[in-house]
Amino acid sequence: MLRVAIAALFGALSLTACAQQPSAPAAKTTAAAPAAAGDADQRVRTALQQLDPTFKPDFIGAAPFAGFREVLVGGQVLYVSDDGRYLMQSQPYDIQNKGPVSSQGLLTYRRKLLDGVPTNERIVFAAPNAKYTVSVFTDIECGYCRKLHQDIAELNRNGITVEYLAFPRMGLGSQDYTDMISVWCAADRKQALTAAKTGKAVTPKNCTNPVAMQYKLGQQMGVNGTPAIFAADGTQLGGYLPPAQLKAALVRVSAGGSR
């Protein structure tokens, strides 16, 4: 899998760097050459296939900075130079707008994925006069998921609707997964989720449910921890944020400051 290949690659590079003795300065490398979008996409695709022949990108598009393509594969966001030579694995930060940044293409891709989840498959805590809506991949056991849930009333007072999607972080087949199915199958899902997040025993239930699908969706979107909060435009706002900080982030996104 590419995730494993990339992790192994970076690990090997780190070990090699630690083992090397000081040496003469390396020769300057040539900067990534500009390339047409279609050519750059193919170069990046070919380069990554050299790391893993089974590479299948979910998304390739222009990065939010010049000279690179933004790639989403196996839930990981990568940045590869247009000539296919250099690879980076980090979240770019916009110093001017003071926030993480993603390309418009990646935001559109994420938004389409989120828009594909019907409201009746989410657990929704609606604000009376909603100004913002966030989609939150959640787990019933993680501490910060519980802390975020304690803020629901304050978030709603600030005009923020919270729509939960299931992301059992212990994986499919775990007790966490089974308990989240029980929550999604409860007659009153909001009450069942709130009870589970306060540590109460989960009453076993089973039904046709979206838990596995939402877990896999979260992986597609790059979720690797909970809570994972997404704005309506697809911007990932991070993990737990206190209500005031979350509202400020949503105001910034609405003003176009996320990209």
pLDDT tens-digit readout, 86-99 = 999 877 888 887 77
Mean pLDDT value across residues 191-202: 95
Mean pLDDT value across residues 1-17: 47
**What torsion do the CA atoms of 98, 114, 167, 58 make, to the nearest 10 degrees?**
-80
Q: Based on DSSP, count helices (H) and strands (E) in the chain, helices before strands.
A: 9, 11
> How many whole angstroms separate alpha carbon 218 and alpha carbon 167?
7
> How many whole angstroms separate alpha carbon 101 and alpha carbon 188?
37
Per-residue pLDDT at 19 exceeds 70: no
Pairwise pLDDT comparison (238 vs 60), residue with the higher score: 60
The encoded tokens of residue 138 equal 């959640």
Q: What is the pLDDT of residue 33?
A: 46
Q: What is the pLDDT of residue 38?
A: 72
Residues 6+ apart with CB under 8 A from 54: 1, 2
Q: What is the pLDDT of residue 257?
A: 56
Which residue in 139, 176, 179, 233 is the catalytic one? 139
Q: What is the pLDDT of residue 20?
A: 35
Please indicate whether residue 111 is annotated as part of the active site: no
Please indicate whether residue 142 is annotated as part of the active site: yes
Which residue in 82, 83, 145, 179 is the catalytic one? 145
Which residue in 82, 83, 142, 176 is the catalytic one? 142
Class of domain 113-254: alpha beta
Q: What is the pLDDT of residue 5?
A: 55
Q: What is the pLDDT of residue 123?
A: 98
Per-residue pLDDT at 6 exceeds 70: no
Give me the chain's average pLDDT, please.
Answer: 85
User: Domain residues of the chain, as ranges?
Assistant: 2-18+27-90, 113-254
Per-residue pLDDT at 47 exceeds 60: yes
Pairwise pLDDT comparison (80 vs 11), residue with the higher score: 80
Cβ neighbours, 10 Å, residue 239: 15
Q: What is the pLDDT of residue 194?
A: 97
Q: What global pTM score does this model have?
A: 0.79
Q: What is the pLDDT of residue 17?
A: 34
2-18+27-90, CATH topology level: Nuclear Transport Factor 2; Chain: A, (3.10.450)
Please indicate whether residue 18 is annotated as part of the active site: no
Which residue in 69, 169, 233, 259 is the catalytic one? 169
Please indicate whether residue 139 is annotated as part of the active site: yes
Most confident of 73-77, 145-149, 252-256: 145-149
Q: What is the pLDDT of residue 54?
A: 84
> How many whole angstroms separate alpha carbon 227 and alpha carbon 239?
5
